[in-house]
């Protein structure tokens, strides 16, 4: 009986030696890409001319927001400068999956548009989306546009 009480006392002493208090909360980061991201920069390379357009200071970009939720839904709200005022230009939402191996977000919008976004330079607080296609002129030359996103929450 003494042995049982000793083992029981030892167990309670180990349980009581927890270094954390009840007030401490362990902050666990959400997995990428969950969170709210703002467009912080847009950089384009015109494949025909080689000219680099760095749109880091264009008004209204900082209002463009992309949000990914834990339940695999997303929303995207883009603002553009229209007649000197920041105006909502495009809103979409839908569902997504993220493949960490290929760094690709596959999505379906509420309008049944299906697509994928290839991401680069991913950190906890930033990522880049690279678009290759006809951006500057509707021709067969593929321009490169890089969208830079920063996590805001």
Q: What's the pLDDT score for residue 15?
A: 39
Q: What's the pLDDT score for residue 104?
A: 92
| pLDDT tier at 45, thresholds 50, 70, 90 | confident
Whole-number percent of the chain with pLDDT over 70: 76
Q: What's the pLDDT score for residue 55?
A: 67
Q: How many CB atoms lie within 10 A of CB 34?
A: 16
Beta-carbon contacts of 96 under 8 Å, excluding residues fewer than 6 positions away, are 68, 72, 73, 74, 105, 106, 107, 108
Half-sphere exposure of 45 (CA within 13 A, CB side): 8
Q: What is the mean pLDDT of residues 59-80?
A: 89
Contact 101, 118 (CB under 8 A): no
């Amino acid at each position: 009986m003494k042995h049982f009480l000793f083992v029981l006392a030892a167990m309670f002493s180990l349980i009581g030696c927890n270094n954390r208090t009840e007030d401490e909360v362990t902050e666990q980061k959400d997995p990428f890409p969950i969170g709210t991201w703002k467009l912080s920069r847009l950089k384009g390379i015109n494949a025909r001319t080689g000219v680099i357009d760095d749109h880091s200071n264009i008004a209204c970009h900082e209002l463009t927001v992309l949000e990914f939720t834990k339940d695999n839904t997303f929303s995207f709200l883009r603002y553009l400068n229209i007649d000197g005022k920041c105006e909502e230009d495009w809103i979409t939402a839908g569902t997504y999956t993220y493949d960490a191996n290929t760094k690709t977000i596959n999505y379906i919008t509420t309008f049944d548009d299906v697509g994928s976004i290839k991401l680069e330079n991913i950190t906890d607080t930033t990522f880049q989306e690279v678009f290759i296609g006809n951006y500057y002129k509707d021709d067969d030359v593929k321009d490169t546009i890089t969208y830079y996103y920063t996590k805001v929450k």
